[in-house]
Amino acid sequence: MAADCKSALLRVRWFESSPLHFGHLKNELFYSRDWLSTTIEEFVAALDAYIRWYNESRIKSSLGYRSPLEHRRKLAFAA
Which pLDDT tens digit goes with each residue over 56-78?
Answer: 888 888 888 998 888 888 888 65
Residues 6+ apart with CB under 8 A from 63: 70, 71
| Cα–Cα distance, 61 to 32 (Å, whole number) | 24
Cα three-residue angle 9-14-18, rounded to 5 degrees: 155
More reliable by pLDDT, 79 or 9: 79
Structure pTM?
0.60
Averaged pLDDT, 16-34: 74
Least confident of 4-8, 23-27, 29-33, 54-58: 4-8
What is the mean predicted confidence (pLDDT) over 1-30? 60
